[in-house]
Amino acid sequence: MTLPFHAGKWGGGALGTVSLIAALAAGAAIGETSIPVDTVFQTAANRLWAAGYVLDPIDEGVIWNYRVARAVAAAACGASLALCGAILQSLLRNALADPYILGISAGASTGAVSVAILGLGGGLLSLPLGAFAGALTAFGLVSLLAVLAGRSSAAVILAGIACSQLFNAVTSFIVTKSATADQARGIMFWLLGNLSGVRWPDAGLAVPVALAGFLVCLLHARHLDAFAFGTNAAASAGVPVRRVYMILIATAAIMTAVMVSIAGSIGFVGLVIPHAARLLVGVRHGLLLPVSAWLGAVFMIFADILSRILIPGQVLPIGVMTALAGAPAFALLLIHRPVTR
């Protein structure tokens, strides 16, 4: 049974906006050192509108340059990964599809390791740029294999699995053969998801990509509804199947590549959040996509908060937190809605 969100789109939108702002404020206020929420809002007012509140410069710098930027980037990453999961599950008609089914995460990992350990790019490439290049390379290889294998949904999934295994093996080989102990620790921490080094330039990349991807997905919401009945039914309904398929797959690939290049490999968000959104609002993508993005953003912010406070004096990889929360949540979803086919 779904909640009656259809009758109150504006109310739901307002509630989602308020809850997202509250989550961002919590992400900025909660940490190893707690900061009052009113100080967070005063800092935002000073930075955005030159409000003139008298604040401690150190606190203001920590809030704005570190915590707010990190919370905004976390929200963009969570929303993007959840959107990618929603559209891939619809396009591929596979409940287990998520952004990493395309092998993009594995390719990003290989790109990052190649830059950090092998020095690929001669110092001109940063770790995020290396990850982005690796992600796009993996997407290109998966696309080529899928085309050669027949362009079907099953071909895309199998190509993604094969490429994931290939790139994971290459990453492990490079780390084992060439990395020092310190390099191996740093790379493994990044591979598990890490927002510790995120600053405003990263958030400035993540937010526009997330918004653009959201608009592309939303413009194709009706087409995604038609894909629920299969590609033949969608084609008979007038949907340009091949064009829509390629646009949305490419959108998912680019969004995932950018977010992985910023935050590392973060699992379960793209798998669990779309299923949770379907329980709330059903399968119509006009509502499913915004709710998935909202849930993904809020979930990622609170996962990041937990990664900072769960063990005093230590920051856990955010991918560990999303898996610890996502695996039980997915088990509950399976129990609530058993798989029958």
Q: Is pLDDT of 6 > 60?
A: no
Going by C-alpha positions, the residue among 117, 85, 109 that lies closest to residue 260 is: 109
**Segment of 39-43, 57-61, 145-149, 316-320 carrying the highest mean pLDDT:** 39-43
What's the rounded mean pLDDT across residues 94-105?
A: 81
Q: How far apart are CA 257 and CA 260, in angstroms?
A: 5
pLDDT tier for residue 9 given thresholds of 50, 70 and 90: low
Q: Is pLDDT of 340 > 50?
A: no
**Segment of 13-17, 195-199, 206-210 carrying the highest mean pLDDT:** 206-210
Q: How far apart are CA 42 and CA 48, in angstroms?
A: 10
Strands (E), the chain: none
Least reliable range by pLDDT among 28-37, 41-50, 280-289: 28-37
- Asked if 86 and 269 count as a contact pair (C-beta separation under 8 A), the reply is no
Q: Is pLDDT of 81 > 90?
A: yes
**Segment of 172-181, 216-225, 251-260 carrying the highest mean pLDDT:** 216-225
Q: How far apart are CA 259 and CA 74, in angstroms?
A: 9
Specify the pLDDT at position 152: 73
Q: Helices 153-178 and 181-191: crossing angle, nearest 10°? A: 160
Specify the pLDDT at position 2: 47
Rounded to a whole number of angstroms, the CA Rg of the chain reads 20
Residue type for position 107? G
- Asked if 255 and 208 count as a contact pair (C-beta separation under 8 A), the reply is no
pLDDT tier for residue 248 given thresholds of 50, 70 and 90: very high
Q: Is pLDDT of 4 > 90?
A: no
Average model confidence (pLDDT) for the chain?
Answer: 86
